[in-house]
Amino acid sequence: MRRLTACVAVLMLALTLIPLGGCSDEGLDFGVRPENRARPVELVLLENGRPDPSVLAEEQVVRRGNGEEPSTLDPHRADGVPAAHILRDLFEGLTTISSSGQIVPGAALRWNISRDARTYTFYLRRDLSWSNGEPLNASDFVYSLRRALHPDTASASAAALLPIANAREVLAGELPIEDLGVALLDDEFTLQITLTGPTPYFLGLMASPVAYPVNRRNVEAFGELFSMPGNLVSNGAFTLNEWVPRTRIVLEKNPLYREARDTLIERVFYIPVEEASAEVNRFRVGELDWTSEVPSNQFAWLQKNYPDELVISPWTGSYFLGFNLTQEPFVDNPSLRMALILAIDREIITDKVTRFGERPSYSLVPPGIDGYVPFTPEYADWTQDERNHEARRLLEQAGYSDANPLHLEIRYNTSGNHKKIALAVASMWKQVLGVSTSLVNEEYRVFLQNRQQKIVTRVFRAGWISDYNDPYSFLELFRTGHRGNDYGYSNSTFDALLDEVGTERVRARRERLMFEAERVLMTDNVIIPIYSHVSKRLVNPHLRGWQPNVLDHHPTRFMYLLRSRGALSSASPSAVDAVSQAASVEAEAPPPPEGALPSPETAGPQADEVDDEDSSERIEQENGEGGS
């Protein structure tokens, strides 16, 4: 009996000790230990803008946290941000983006846009090859665009390619695939794409995954499995080496890439981490160099404790609430809508409610997109008291009072953030206007369906994050009948302005037209602007070469890792090398960057072969109409 209980006691003790197995002699420390995080050496650049080899870490392996598991690595069928990050490393479109997010020549060396903005002619580089060594030319792009739009491919992202002539008919199976407005011109290196109408962001579109080339022989040989490691042939800076679902995707440098000499990173790990806080944890123990985001509830803490690692920058995204203009009480009731817009104190929402570095917004287009300065309504300069005062006046004008109280609902999809914002908005309406608001939260897909049907919704969670560095991609959502128009908004002046934007070639004119369109939209009170998104992530300070940009696109090929201070050999500040997935990677010296080709940024400006004289004439002619 006594022995038995002794046995039990010993075993229990052993059990409690198991989690401590393999502990080092370090004690537990609940403080933050920034001094333990290695610091990189000072960056030294050569004349060509590339880093001096002496400051580089020996092992150029970057581990990027990547959010959710990518849907697929078939560029034509992929959707979602995580897949796009990986595909931008694997492939290159006719155009591509620079480290600062600008459109620069990719597979095409230069291009020509017709005066009516409906025909794009791309002149491809002549020395391109696939990662398997086969040459790559314009017919690969013809094949690929046709494949992306083929009914059998059933690509959801093909919707982006609808501006191409006959794309809709081809998708619907009404026209043969050969009728798609994509053709070889003169030789194997000239590609002409015809559009149904002007599409301002078309060059940006050509840099996105759905417009990437896929290798025909590869696709035909492996079918849907062509995007698996070992099968996938690509044309980007990296090739696919390994894919363990929801564990890691490993890319290796592609030596045949046209700028392989400037690509310093040898290997990229994309680690899907669904839980944002898990990503932060893995960053903190040194398993990741880069996180896809940071959880909002840790933002303040990280700001304080990881100031060097936390990177925040404007992003092409706006968060707003929408009005369903097709249902009472919002039909033809702009003063009611304005009252509701005014009564919200955006500063309080960003500073006290969401608190993760977003910026209060008074308009649709977020700041920082391609130099565009968004429209600012008059009330943006008022104090909140003034706004509240005006809001009450407008509400009364709309016919609501204590005797005839207004009851509203805000519908949103289940998420802590949406809920917090809806709660804040509802309480502001209550406080300022005495409007009672019920909150309706729905599961995401249910919410999407309701929002698109425009029947049960009144005020609803909306917002847009664009893939294009172009204000137009925000404005077009409000065109009459646009499939993103869940507001039921229709204004012919607005539509006409957007038509003009489509064909306008002179930047200043185009911006003015878009500004005017945004002004029309905002004075029609279709949305309640709340804030503009920022991208925020933790980045290993050793990792350089990338730049914050509004698109939040960060191709790995621009990146490199600096050496740690006082350490010549150690590559990264990994705390758990023994179990790190990257630990087995053999170190390899980076290629010497002397005589490097001009970087994409410098190549960009000389590429656009637009004859601007003609375009500017048109601007003068149409100026009068635009202002009306």
Partner 1 sequence: MRQEGLLQLAASRLIGLVPTLLVLITISFFLIRLAPGGPFDAEMAAPPEIRANLEAKYHLDEPLLAQYFRYLGEVIAFDFGPSFQYKDWTVNELIARGFPISATIGGLAMLLAFFAGVLIGVFAALRQNTASDYTVMGIAMLGISIPNFVVAPLLILVLAIYGGWLPASGWDWTWQRGLLPVVTLALPAIAYIARLTRGSMIEVLHSNYIRTARAKGLPERTVILRHALKPTLLPVISYMGPATAALITGSVVVERIYSIPGLGSYFVQGALNRDYTLVMGVVVFYGMIIILFNFIVDLLYAWLNPRIRYDEGE
- Binders of partner 1 among 448-507, rule CB under 8 A? 448-450, 452, 464, 477, 483-484
State which of residues 74, 309, 467, 495 lies at the interface with partner 1 (CB under 8 A): 74
Subset of 568-607 contacting partner 1 (CB under 8 A): 575-576, 578-581
- Comparing CA positions, the residue from 603, 583, 613 lying closest to residue 287 is 583
Subset of 264-293 contacting partner 1 (CB under 8 A): 271-275, 277-278, 281-282, 284-285, 287
**DSSP character string of 186-209:** SEEEEEEEEBSS--TTHHHHTTSG
Cβ–Cβ contacts within 10 Å for residue 227, how many? 25
Using CA atoms, how far apart are residues 115 and 503, in angstroms rounded to an integer? 8
| Distance of closest approach, residue 287 Cβ to partner 1, in angstroms | 6
State which of residues 126, 247, 308, 614 lies at the interface with partner 1 (CB under 8 A): 247
Which residue, chain included where needed, has tokens 């026209």? 175
Cβ–Cβ contacts within 10 Å for residue 423, how many? 14
| 211 to 230: interface string for partner 1, x by CB under 8 A | -------------xx-xx--
Side-chain half-sphere of 127: how many Cα atoms within 13 Å? 4
Q: Does 358 bind partner 1 (CB under 8 A)?
A: no
| Distance of closest approach, residue 575 Cβ to partner 1, in angstroms | 5
Choices 20-28, 134-142, 327-335, 390-398; region in contact with partner 1 by CB under 8 A? 20-28
| Distance of closest approach, residue 33 Cβ to partner 1, in angstroms | 8
Q: Does 168 bind partner 1 (CB under 8 A)?
A: yes
Q: Does 534 bind partner 1 (CB under 8 A)?
A: no
Nearer to partner 1, 398 or 582 (CB): 582
Q: Does 158 bind partner 1 (CB under 8 A)?
A: yes
Subset of 77-116 contacting partner 1 (CB under 8 A): 77-79
Residue-wise burial string across 533-565, b where 16 or more C-beta atoms lie within 10 A, e elsewhere: bbbbbbbbbbbbbbebbbbbbbbbbbbbbbbbe
State which of residues 17, 373, 446, 455 lies at the interface with partner 1 (CB under 8 A): 446
Choices 9-17, 37-45, 135-143, 501-509; region in contact with partner 1 by CB under 8 A? 9-17
| Alpha helix (H) residue ranges in 99-162 | 138-149
Using CA atoms, how far apart are residues 488 and 599, in angstroms rounded to an integer? 45
CB contact at 8 A, 72 and 83:
yes
Subset of 371-400 contacting partner 1 (CB under 8 A): none
Which residue, chain included where needed, has tokens 């080709």? 597
Using CA atoms, how far apart are residues 375 and 365, in angstroms rounded to an integer? 8
Which residue, chain included where needed, has tokens 């621009």? 558
Nearer to partner 1, 223 or 624 (CB): 223
Structure tokens at 463: 């917002």
Subset of 175-194 contacting partner 1 (CB under 8 A): none
Structure tokens at 75: 């560029």
Choices 187-195, 325-333, 416-424, 444-452; region in contact with partner 1 by CB under 8 A? 444-452
| Distance of closest approach, residue 337 Cβ to partner 1, in angstroms | 22
